Structure 1
Amino acid sequence: MSTSDTPQIPFAPSAPARRRRIGVLISMALFAYGLDLASKVLVVAHLENHAPVPLIGDWLTLQVTRNAGAAFSMGQAMTVVFTVIAAIVIAVICRIAHKLYSLPWAIALGMLLGGAFGNLTDRVLRSPGVFRGAVVDFISVQYYAVFNLADSAIVCGGVLVVLMSFLGTTPDGRRERDTVPDATEAGEPGKA
């Protein structure tokens, strides 16, 4: 039997095919954004201009505040700067997405993306005006800060990114040591 008589297999990978995780990133971002948006709509409609609602004594309460600054209400006069930073974070995540093969990275970046969009929506659409809007915060922890679900998504996503970076995992699903060429592969003189 000649080679022309044997059936040709168009694609036979030697290793399992890697799949991009853009769908996971988008799903996680939409979930985080939707949850944040729905929670803000509810608390503004039912809790704004009302007394704080205790959930766990004085330790955890629902208390609506408007925050024009960053975390812990720092930088109140810099709303436009925080809007630009959120837009840059979104652009960077979109740029990384084309080489995203790691499931944990997709989840982490999706949380960051959804949280950034959540707070960016407030900064663009809420009063006192476009790009000067105050973010709606409503989760109050005693001796801590008042925050929202977008802030929680950003912090959780950020912690995951730091953890994966510490472990040496890259967004493309490889370990950093796998991406650095060996001395023999690099063709260094005197190495064989």
Structure 2
Amino acid sequence: MRLLVPIIAVVAVVDQVLKELVLQTVNPARPVEVIGEWARIVLVFNSGAAFSMGQNHTWVFTTLQLGFVLGALYFGRSMVHRPQIIGVALIAGGALGNLIDRLFRAPGFFVGHVVDYISIGNFAVFNLADSAITIGVVVVIAALFFEPEPSKEKA
């Protein structure tokens, strides 16, 4: 828990700070070019999941994110492998960052829209929380493949 909780908190806080910064400085109608048109900051409000799928099911994503964060905190106590803990913490931190949007942003509690702002090439617009989730999934999968099996001693 000493590793899990701080990572979750840092990811969620940094995500919210960046979203607030974008909300205060970027006009939705005027993207900010960072590297020409290839990398831009574009303010979008997303009611769905990745790639704006499930636009009419915001409450489902809210429920899933809440469940994952609570599950990570509950089951995190029994995790022992550092890479798995880091991966799960990144996923939970990203889920918490987007969950905060869904709980407290317009149009209302539990159905709020997620603030997305990173646009790379022709890829979907995303945010730091989404990046943390993606990196966390890669870390967890890698950990599952590369971590040694726990030793099984006979009684």
Q: TM-score over 0.5 for the alignment?
A: yes
In structure 2, the residue matched to 1:75 is 54
Percent identity between matched residues is: 38
Note if 1:114 corresponds to 2:93: yes
Shift of 1:50: 4.4
Aligned with 2:107 (options 128, 132, 148): 128
More helix by share: 2
Q: Deviations over 1:9-55 (max 9, x none)?
A: xxxxxxxxxxxxx1111111111111101000000011033411111
In structure 2, the residue matched to 1:64 is 43
Query: Where in structure 1 are there 5+ consecutive unaligned residues?
Result: 1-21, 170-174, 187-192
Shift of 1:105: 1.9
Structure 2 Cα separation of the partners of residues 41 and 110 of structure 1: 22
The higher-RCO structure (CA 8 Å, 6+ apart) is 2
TM-score (normalizing by structure 2) = 0.93
Alignment of 1:1-192 (within 5 A): 22-167=1-146, 169=147, 175-176=148-149, 178-179=151-152, 185=154
Amino acid of the structure 2 residue aligned with 1:63: V
Query: Where in structure 2 are there 5+ consecutive unaligned residues?
Result: none
Amino acid of the structure 2 residue aligned with 1:94: L
How many residue pairs get aligned? The number is: 155
How much is the aligned-residue C-alpha RMSD, in angstroms? 1.5
TM-score (normalizing by structure 1) = 0.76
Residue range with higher mean Cα deviation, 101-110 or 149-158: 101-110
Q: Which has the larger Rg? A: 1
